[in-house]
Amino acid sequence: MDGADLSPFGKMRMVELLCTLLVVLLSLLINGEAEVYMVMMEDEPVISYRGGIPGFEATAVESDEKIDTTSEVVASYAKHLEEKHDMLLDMLFDSETYQKLYSYRHLINGFSVHMPPEQVETLRRAPGVISVERDWKVHRLTTHTPQFLGLPTGVWPTGGGFDRAGEDIVIGFVDSGIYPHHPSFSTHHADPYRPLPKYKGKCEIDPHTKSKFCNGKIIGAQHFAEAAKAAGVFNPAIDFASPLDGDGHGSHIAAIAAGNNGIPVRMHGHEFGKASGMAPRARIAVYKALYRLFGGFIADVVAAIDQAVYDGVDILSLSLGPNSPPATTKTTYLNPFDATLLAAVKAGVFVAQAAGNGGPFPKTMVSYSPWITSVAAAIDDRRYKNHLTLGNGKILPGMGLSPSTRLNQTYPLVFANDVLLDSSVLKYNPSDCQRPELLNKKLVEGKILLCGYSFSFVSGTASIKKVSETAKKLGAAGFVLAVENSTPGAKYDPVPVCTPGIVITDATKSADLIDYYNISTPRDWTGRVKSFNAIGSIGDGLMAILHKSAPQVALFSARGPNIKDFSFGDADLLKPDILAPGSLIWAAWSPNGTDEANFMGEGFAMMSGTSMAAPHIAGIAALIKQKHRKWSPAAIKSALMTTSTELDRAGRPLQAQQYSETEAMKLVRATPFDYGSGHVNPRAALDPGLVFDAGYTDYLGFLCTTPGINVHEIRNFTNMRCNYTMGHPSNLNSPSITVSRLVKTFTVTRTVTNVADEEETYVITARMEPAIAIEVKPSAMTLRRGASRKFTVSLTVRSVTGGYSFGKVTMKGSRGHRVRIPVVAMGYWR
């Protein structure tokens, strides 16, 4: 393309891209093998500074108390910390040899810096430096659900209806940004949003359009990319140096939690229903730190979280996680990311994090700590199915979100490799139907095009959307994608297309199709087709089928047991915490989005992953926070967990998708390692009766009591001494009980608080699988409004099975409340 053909905007983008490449090349020449490091310093951060430095008053907050962003004392101490960071670097190194990226001052005290590895040891030995760790990457853990969860009739009315659900609650999203022009975030048809003085976040301006990203509903929008730039992977032409979503993931997440109510989901002339967020009136604060090609860096993510908490968000939604436990620290709970989130919870911020997508295998969680609510993914009650009817009478099931071919009419079937324009194009793998120019339109027109589902569809270099476009361009009556070899772990999600189409996901059914086609298709001695005699028709796949077997734990959803260290040692803490919808979720999409090839250029996308489950919980937590403004993050988490359900809609125990011996998918009875406490029940969570509360001191006690954690490491990340222990980490007052190594008899203690409006008497019962005996004392208790009481649970080894035993403690209240916590233990003789 000649430069004269570029628009002024295009020229500007090209210059920007060339400048970026030049900066990257210069950076490589100057720094060689320079990398990003995160440095922790010994002075206390704003949130825990108790005074003692001349000229600087204390800034520490009590547990569940927000940072006072208007305080000059806070601003002065934060500036002092940043100046110390700068002075240290200036004292140790020449300014040309490093680049400081961020100073972390509010939740943790430290900074991130880009420098050559040979300088790290000097930095590590410097006075005031506690630890130096190399930065590591995180990645994305990539409608109908409000009705499925009972929000419109059971929850929203208690908050004043959908047009007030989540009012004045701010949800912060650390993700890939937002597409602010989407109707899910529009304010055109809503009551005006009043100013919200408690939130202090800023709103960046689009560098190209000069327009703001905020509109009242979107209350803050910032981006963080210094570590990505230093690593040389940030490309402003596609990553956007602004909060604009260049991926799609961030817009999708924000809409699930807080998108407007009743937004029509339209694609290819069909409406698939109306989309809504869990808390449609909640405010959205965007902290972009994930990018389309490389994910994100912890240095950027921690900066985003630090800023979000300082700005005053109430809820944090994190649909991101590391590829594996952080190898730089001995324990999974102590690293800059989890330590920052611990401080966020101290500031009263509820944190929902995706559990991870490594299922169905055990110990695949990427969310470990007790102060975080780790969310597993469920399949809800909606399924999309379709079928292909062959001329021999066989009906082959499959999936395809598409219209049917004409009723009572059949069409000839043609295989892509049989309608090539030239045999030389075989090198392009024409059977995947990605290139219409390789196929003979005269032979395809008016017929059903048969294509092969190759590994290219799994890797993302081929898409169902492109097959549909090929079929349409060639005038085909429809298309069929046949999966001939089932790949373990392959997940086939329906894709909305405008052309009649279907994916035959069962390899045995694909074999039936191929056999019928070959028998019905005569060829000459060279193998060329004489006539296409195989016929078929495609059914209507646009209508969802509702199943009572829902919810089920999705195959991909990460599983417990939770791990406490990089050696994958079992933790005395249950994870995941809770189950929420995370499969085939319709929500907003960015037209720039490339996270899913099948939805490029679309306004909506249907996605699956624990990424989609976490914002469900974030949105529901916003509804709870709206009703109970003074509740701690732990109280909100407790309400969600203790009121969840272990049963599906038919009243049967929850099931989990799992692999069979042949690597086919099967259903097995689910356990707390699959679903935590159970599937979320929003209506019950608003009125839980009792809560298991905990605060910052309790989490410190958990850390100080966990075997194998060095007390110096705890102080490095929390600036606190181990003055308080709880005897055993299982004694943390969490709404679950886990004993990873039970010898003889062990007793744990829990404290409950009555948060109902009236006094209530609870009868307490316990049940456990036969290998472990369980006893609870007392068997009943009466609690006045606001009162707290302790009870104990004793576990005794009856037999050693080599595996975990599961059970539960149930508390039935005289006024109808029902509180349940899961119990997990593995018995040993010694």
Interior angle at CA 608, CA 607 and CA 614, nearest 5: 105
CB atoms within 10 A of CB 219: 24
Residue 475 contacts residue 444 (beta carbons within 8 Å): yes
Strand segments, DSSP code E, in 122-179 are: 129-134, 137-140, 170-175
SS (H, E, C) 623-673: HHHHHCCCCCHHHHHHHHHHCCECECCCCCECEEEEECCCCCEEEEECCHH
* Contacts of 316 by beta carbon, 8 Å cutoff, 6+ apart: 171, 172, 174, 305, 308, 309, 341, 344, 349, 350, 351, 352, 618
Residue 148 contacts residue 339 (beta carbons within 8 Å): no
* Dist CA 712 CA 702 (whole Å): 15
Q: Which of 441, 459, 449 is nearest to 502 (CA)?
A: 449
| Helix (H), strand (E) at residue 773 | strand 772-777
**656 backbone φψ class: left, alpha, beta (φ>0; ψ -120 to 50):** beta
Residue 400 contacts residue 541 (beta carbons within 8 Å): yes
Give catalytic status of residue 175 as yes or no. yes
| Helix (H), strand (E) at residue 376 | strand 373-379
Task: Classify residue 356 by its DSSP letter.
Answer: -
* CA 156 to chain centroid: 24
607: its two tokens: 């996605």
* CA 189 to chain centroid: 29
* Dist CA 573 CA 129 (whole Å): 31
Residue 547 contacts residue 342 (beta carbons within 8 Å): no
Write down the catalytic residue from 106, 249, 616, 817.
249
**Which amino acid is located at 8 in the chain?**
P
Write down the catalytic residue from 168, 175, 648, 693.
175
- Axis-axis angle for helices 610-627, 249-258 (nearest 10): 30
Residue-wise over 717-731: b if at least 16 C-beta within 10 A, else e? bbbbebeeebebbbb
The CA–CA distances, whole Å, from 632 to 410, 415, 699, 732 equal: 62, 61, 13, 16
* Dist CA 380 CA 547 (whole Å): 8
Residue-wise over 540-552: b if at least 16 C-beta within 10 A, else e? ebbebeebeebbb
* Contacts of 105 by beta carbon, 8 Å cutoff, 6+ apart: 45, 46, 77, 78, 81, 82, 306
* Dist CA 21 CA 606 (whole Å): 35
640: its two tokens: 């969600």
Q: Which of 205, 513, 557, 546 is nearest to 380 (CA)?
A: 546
Q: Which of 248, 232, 341 is nearest to 294 (CA)?
A: 232
Write down the catalytic residue from 276, 317, 608, 611.
611
Residue 730 contacts residue 710 (beta carbons within 8 Å): no
Residue with tokens 């996901």: 505
Residue 296 contacts residue 290 (beta carbons within 8 Å): yes
Beta strands 478-482 and 501-504: pairing type?
A: parallel
* Dist CA 553 CA 290 (whole Å): 27
Task: Cite the active site residues.
Answer: 175, 249, 611
